[in-house]
Amino acid sequence: MTYCVALRLNRGLVFAADTRTNAGVDNIAQFRKIHYWCNPGERVLVLLAAGNLSLTQSVVSLLNEQLVEREEDPDSINLYNVPTMYRAARLVGDAVRSIRAIDGAALEATKTGFAGSFILGGQIGSEPPRLFQIYSEGNFIEATDDTPYFQIGEHKYGKPILDRVAQPTMRLGQAAKLILLSFDSTLRSNLSVGMPIDILLYERDSLEVRREKRIHQDDEYFKKLSQAWSEALREAFTKIEEFNV
Amino acid sequence: MTYCVALRLNRGLVFAADTRTNAGVDNIAQFRKIHYWCNPGERVLVLLAAGNLSLTQSVVSLLNEQLVEREEDPDSINLYNVPTMYRAARLVGDAVRSIRAIDGAALEATKTGFAGSFILGGQIGSEPPRLFQIYSEGNFIEATDDTPYFQIGEHKYGKPILDRVAQPTMRLGQAAKLILLSFDSTLRSNLSVGMPIDILLYERDSLEVRREKRIHQDDEYFKKLSQAWSEALREAFTKIEEFNV
């Protein structure tokens, strides 16, 4: 399994992904699930991926091959020349459909299935930052102020805190704190989600990646956060009046 | 879907279940999912049920028919004469297997499947209170101090708070508060879990049911609890240092 989450804020975007993949509980490995493409001053695109690793890696490979192809054919469409984030999301969706055409039938014929989903966010030129969730069918939806975040993979344990706290008006550092709390709940409850966590904070109109970090098990901030949150929850619990019937 | 949870404490047992059933999002109904059998002064058995309603209702019907049969055949085994909670759990498991023998093949042949799980708790005579989770295969596990609670149905949203706070040393009223918070998180995130909530607090060695309540949407305590918890979470969130990279 996997847990990825991204928030769309007025001040930018925050992305995070765990790094654990597993084929059964006795076969786990570490893979980066956050990918980005940056043409400084012009565009930043960040992709989070969950699902069959063969599918998600193939999608990234296809997107990268398109970038190489453009040297031969300058008219070909790729992540570095699409004019909007909407077009970029379509490009990712098309890549998913291309892989489905190759691997879909074989996977669907087994218990494995063809499963994958993606979160794509970023900013191109003067367009405001946008955030999309792309399904394994290649179609996609966009985040709005009503629902400023997307989650893919093991989303349930980490959702209650997001639902209660996420706001488009948050600062990036606040949103990163929220996302890490959402990860903390998920990591406690699901073994198939594992550290380290990759986190990337994109500041609106910066058009470059300045703030990213890999958070390891022994990260001081994460340990403090996790402990403070547990204590705060227990304290808050104590303060509430007991049920009496 | 359904959400049921039960906690085994040193001072007794607390059970709760929502009341929503659904066959698709456009076909929801209200059914009680908490059932109990009580021979005051001698035994109390409480059963929570999740899964195909046809299965869970049939199991309860079978268990009740066994009680009628005993009038004709005093040697027949039933919930009112099994000597221990372990034997009671076996009786429930046997009932699940009986229904599987009747309906299993037809259900497994469709997307519906044969799905159901149960939580059985209670006390018989001088035996301490015990708590079991019974699977759709009829086998079961028992709660211990390491894991003093069981959840069935839509368990993920409400698990983080249980994992952090549940302790066998809690008072029944504290445990009920915890369970209602776990419900609050679940109700916010999953439409297929719906109020009212049935809650039952069993006091160790009381050997009768003294404290039970149906908590409706407009219940004052539940509204206060939900609001106080949201505020406490937001406040706790604010207090923790922001992420900075």
Helices (H), A119-219: 159-165, 172-189
A3-9 and A12-17 strand pairing: antiparallel
pTM of the model: 0.90
Q: How far A210 CA lies from chain B's nearest CA (Å)?
A: 9
Given pLDDT bands bounded at 50, 70 and 90, which one contains residue B23?
confident
Name the β-bridge partners of B213. Answer: B199
**Is A176 in contact with B230 (Cβ distance < 8 A)?**
no
How crowded is residue B239: how many other Cβ atoms within 10 Å of its Cβ?
A: 10
In this prediction the ipTM stands at 0.83
The domain B3-236 having CATH identifier 3.40.50.11540: the answer here is no
Percent of chain A having pLDDT more than 70?
100
Name the β-bridge partners of A3. Answer: A153
Query: What is the reported pLDDT for A191?
Result: 87
- Amino acid in position B146: D
Best mutation target among A147, A161, A181, A243 (most B Cβ atoms within 10 Å) is A243
What's the rounded mean pLDDT across residues B85-104? 97
The C-alpha atoms of residue A52 and residue B133 are separated, in whole angstroms, by: 32
The C-alpha atoms of residue A222 and residue A186 are separated, in whole angstroms, by: 14
The C-alpha atoms of residue B147 and residue B167 are separated, in whole angstroms, by: 9
To 10 degrees, the CA torsion angle through A100, A105, A111, A112?
Answer: -30
Q: Which residues contact B6 (CB under 8 A, 6 or more apart)?
A: B13, B14, B15, B16, B46, B48, B119, B121, B131, B143, B149, B150
Name the β-bridge partners of A119. Answer: A48, A133
Name the DSSP class of A157. Answer: T
Q: Which residues contact B60 (CB under 8 A, 6 or more apart)?
A: B35, B47, B49
Query: What is the reported pLDDT for B22?
Result: 86
Given pLDDT bands bounded at 50, 70 and 90, which one contains residue A196?
very high
**What number of H helices and E strands is found in chain B?**
6, 12
Mean of the per-residue pLDDT values of chain A: 95
For B166, name the nearest residue in chain A, comparing CA atoms only.
A234
For A80-124, write each residue's pLDDT tens digit. 999 999 999 999 999 999 999 999 999 999 988 999 999 999 999
What's the rounded mean pLDDT across residues A15-31? 90
Given pLDDT bands bounded at 50, 70 and 90, which one contains residue B221?
very high
The answer to whether residues A27 and A194 touch, using CB atoms and an 8 Å cutoff, is no
Res. A26: pLDDT tops 90: no
Percent of chain B having pLDDT more than 70?
100
Res. B50: pLDDT tops 90: yes
Res. B24: pLDDT tops 90: no
| DSSP E strand stretches across B42-86 | 43-51
The C-alpha atoms of residue A146 and residue A205 are separated, in whole angstroms, by: 22
The C-alpha atoms of residue A156 and residue B4 are separated, in whole angstroms, by: 17
What's the rounded mean pLDDT across residues B24-49? 94
Query: What is the reported pLDDT for B70?
Result: 84
Q: Which of B12-26, B179-193, B210-224 has the highest average model confidence (pLDDT)?
A: B210-224
**Is A199 in contact with B245 (Cβ distance < 8 A)?**
yes
Mean of the per-residue pLDDT values of chain B: 95
Side-chain-side CA neighbours of B31 within 13 Å: the count stands at: 22
Given pLDDT bands bounded at 50, 70 and 90, which one contains residue B129?
very high
Q: How far B229 CA lies from chain A's nearest CA (Å)?
A: 7
Res. A34: pLDDT tops 90: yes
The C-alpha atoms of residue A16 and residue B33 are separated, in whole angstroms, by: 39
The C-alpha atoms of residue B218 and residue B195 are separated, in whole angstroms, by: 10
Nearest to B159 among A163, A165, A189 (CB): A189
Given pLDDT bands bounded at 50, 70 and 90, which one contains residue A77?
very high
Q: How many beta-carbon pairs under 8 angstroms link A with B?
A: 125
Each domain of chain B, given as residue ranges in start order, spans 3-236
What's the rounded mean pLDDT across residues A12-41? 93
Query: What is the reported pLDDT for A57?
Result: 96
- Burial annotation B203-221 (CB, 10 A radius, 16+ → b, else e): beebbebebebebeeebeb
Query: What is the reported pLDDT for A192?
Result: 87
The C-alpha atoms of residue A3 and residue A188 are separated, in whole angstroms, by: 12
Upstream peptide bond of B196 is cis (omega within 30 degrees of 0): yes
Closest CA to B124 of B40, B201, B7: B40
Query: What is the reported pLDDT for B72?
Result: 86
Surface of B (172-231) touching A: CB under 8 A: 173-174, 176-178, 180-181, 185, 188-189, 199, 201, 211-213, 221, 224-225, 228-230
Query: What is the reported pLDDT for A52?
Result: 92
Protein fold of A3-239 = Glutamine Phosphoribosylpyrophosphate, subunit 1, domain 1 (3.60.20)
Given pLDDT bands bounded at 50, 70 and 90, which one contains residue A189?
confident
The C-alpha atoms of residue B99 and residue B118 are separated, in whole angstroms, by: 14
Res. A149: pLDDT tops 90: yes
For B145-202, write each residue's pLDDT tens digit. 999 999 999 999 999 999 989 999 999 999 999 999 999 999 988 888 999 999 999 9
Query: What is the reported pLDDT for B107?
Result: 94
Which tokens belong to B63? 């268990």
Query: What is the reported pLDDT for B179?
Result: 97
What's the rounded mean pLDDT across residues B225-231? 93
Q: Which residues contact B19 (CB under 8 A, 6 or more apart)?
A: B30, B31, B32, B33, B194, B195, B196, B197, B198
Query: What is the reported pLDDT for B189?
Result: 86
Nearest to A230 among B164, B173, B178 (CB): B164
The answer to whether residues A158 and A172 touch, using CB atoms and an 8 Å cutoff, is no
Which tokens belong to B11? 């001072």
| DSSP E strand stretches across A63-171 | 116-124, 130-134, 140-142, 149-153
